[in-house]
Each structure stands twice: as C-alpha cells, then as structure tokens.
Amino acid sequence: MHAVVIRDGELHWEERADPVPGDTELLVAVQAAGVNGADMIQRLGLYPAPPGSPADIPGLELAGPVVAVGSQVTRFAPGDRVMAVVGGGAQATMSVVDETHALAVPASLPWPEAGGFPEGYSTAFDALFTQGELRLGERVLVTGAAGGVGTAGVQLAAAAGAVVVATVRDQGRRHEVAALGASVVIDPEDVAREGPYDVVLELIGAASLPGVLPHLATGARVVVIGIGSGAKIELNLAHLMGTRARIGASTLRSRSRREKANVAAAVAAHALPLLATGRITVPICATFPLAEAGAAYERFSGGAKLGKVVLVA
C-alpha cells in the first residue's frame, strides 16, 4: 500500500507493507479519510498515536470497502461499505479497523462524506449527549461551529430539539452554519448576549471558555473538546458554585477499545439513522488526493472554511 508518513515534521507519500487484520479486525481499502486538528498536532510531534496504531501514519477516520476480515469477525464481510474512527493510520490506501468500531455507510452516501463523518460526529455526539446530557429544548452554545466537530454538533443538537447558538469567527460562514440548524450565529465576542446556556460544546479552548463561564444556566454542563487556542484558564469556583455548573473535557483517541465500541454503538443507534435520511449532513470544504496530504493540511490550517477537509483515493 501507500501511506502518508510523518517524518521530522514533514509529510511524505511512501510505500509500506499492507497491514494484516487481527482476529477481530477488518482490512479496508481506504476511499476517503478526513483531516482533523489532531493530525496537525501529531505532525508537530506533540500527539503520538496510541499503542496499536501506526506511529508515523496519521489519520483518525476513514471510509471504504472491506477487502478482508479476521477469523472472529461476524458483523461485516468483504464488499461491505464501512467507516470508522481509528487510533491512527487512516491516511493510507489500506487500513485496519476493529469491527466493533466500524459503522455501515448508508447506501446513498458518497465516499468523501463517509470519510469525513466518523470523527466529528462521534466526538460531537459523545460530548453533547453522553457527557453533556443534552435534553430537548435546552440552549446549547457551540464555539467554533464551522469546523468538522462544530458542524456535526450544530446539526445533532438542532435535530434533538435543542436551541443552538453558534459562534463563528468568519462572517462569510455564518449563513451556512445557520442553514445547518443554528438558531443564532454570532461572533465569539457576543456570547454574553445570547446566554445563559445549558450545555456548552467548547471547541476553541482558553481563548473562548473564560468568556463563556459567566453565562451558564443553573446546572449547566460544559464539555471541552478543542483547546487549539490554549489549555490553561483561571476557574472561579465561587461562580461555579452559584450555578451548580460542571466543566468536563474529553477526547476519543485515548479511550479503550471497549469504550470506543460503546461510542460507535451509540452513534450507530442515534446518528446513523439521521445521516441515512439526510437530516444530518457532512459539509465538505475540500477534497485532496491522499498523495497530496500536505496541501490538504495547509487548507485545514488556513481557516475560513466550513466543514471537513477530506483526503480521497
């Protein structure tokens, strides 16, 4: 196979031996693989792949047909169209996926959308519903709503009957985020005006969260998923006591195989039906050939985008 390889902070396109699926794994011929913020950090050497994933091949999500299966696989067979979050190694022409982490791709969904679905939607679903316990009619703030997790979070929260307030820095992207289901799309400076918030999906980090914390509703749940602008904030415990709010934070990548299987099962039960019927979508900002990952990463980091940058075979 060929793979995107990180060496000394640079991306290369190199030939590698095909991966061999383990007993519970699927071998997938990757047709599309989304680009994520974690890839940028991994390229800098700051976010090593977890044990069991290729150390130098980036990529946290993929889609493609199954081409071989391990001896204990029961749920999928060669030819099935699958997509999945993986610990790494997605940005290659072949990759392996534990069958409990794989999702069936809806029949009508093109490969780029399938390759850009798993990471953003799994992260947003887990943050909003499992961690944040979002309920019908609650008011949700999604900070940095134009990216992959943000566009997924806006759509999932709106589909679940929440009132969605979204912050988007780039004015040119606001009408598109509104079209995804956000009731109000605002500049990050204006979060005070639209609060108080029951649930906050924080995708920006230290540059955003301190401005949000004074505007929480009683019993609010904050879930921090993105810290691209920094990780350290000052927290005033007295304010938190007054609102009985709680602040949580989460990543998918460090979780155990069992925990990732639980996330995939929840996404299959609650998000896939919406994807299959078109109630939620995967906005694609741009696609690039796998062999041109450098250009794709540049586009990803460039800002002023809506939705996913996806590498395609």
- Binding residues vs a second copy (CB under 8 A): 131, 205-206, 209, 224-225, 227, 231-242, 244-251, 254
Looking at the Cβ atoms of 75 and 239, the one nearer to a second copy is: 239
For the CB of residue 150, give the shortest distance to a second copy in the complex, in Å. Answer: 17
State the Cα–Cα distance between residues 209 and 222, nearest whole angstrom: 9
For the CB of residue 251, give the shortest distance to a second copy in the complex, in Å. Answer: 5
For the CB of residue 98, give the shortest distance to a second copy in the complex, in Å. Answer: 20
DSSP assignment, residue 278?
A: T
How is residue 145 written in tokens? Answer: 């709503």
CA–CA–CA angle 84, 37, 8 (5° rounding)? 105
For the CB of residue 203, give the shortest distance to a second copy in the complex, in Å. Answer: 12
Looking at the Cβ atoms of 11 and 213, the one nearer to a second copy is: 213
State the Cα–Cα distance between residues 76 and 68, nearest whole angstrom: 10
For the CB of residue 95, give the shortest distance to a second copy in the complex, in Å. Answer: 25
For the CB of residue 35, give the shortest distance to a second copy in the complex, in Å. Answer: 20
Per-residue CA distances from 101 to 20, 39, 83, 96, 130 (Å): 17, 20, 9, 11, 17
Looking at the Cβ atoms of 248 and 302, the one nearer to a second copy is: 248
Looking at the Cβ atoms of 67 and 247, the one nearer to a second copy is: 247
Looking at the Cβ atoms of 104 and 206, the one nearer to a second copy is: 206
Looking at the Cβ atoms of 192 and 231, the one nearer to a second copy is: 231
State the Cα–Cα distance between residues 48 and 88, nearest whole angstrom: 9
**Contact, 112 vs 312, CB < 8 A?**
yes
Burial of 211 (0-12, 13-18, 19+ CB in 10 A): middle
**Contact, 258 vs 248, CB < 8 A?**
no
> Is-cis flag, bond preceding 210, omega within 30?
no
35: left (phi over 0), alpha (psi -120 to 50) or beta: beta
**Contact, 282 vs 113, CB < 8 A?**
yes
State the Cα–Cα distance between residues 63 and 29, nearest whole angstrom: 8
**Contact, 42 vs 58, CB < 8 A?**
yes
For the CB of residue 241, give the shortest distance to a second copy in the complex, in Å. Answer: 4
For the CB of residue 202, give the shortest distance to a second copy in the complex, in Å. Answer: 8
Looking at the Cβ atoms of 193 and 239, the one nearer to a second copy is: 239
Looking at the Cβ atoms of 141 and 158, the one nearer to a second copy is: 141
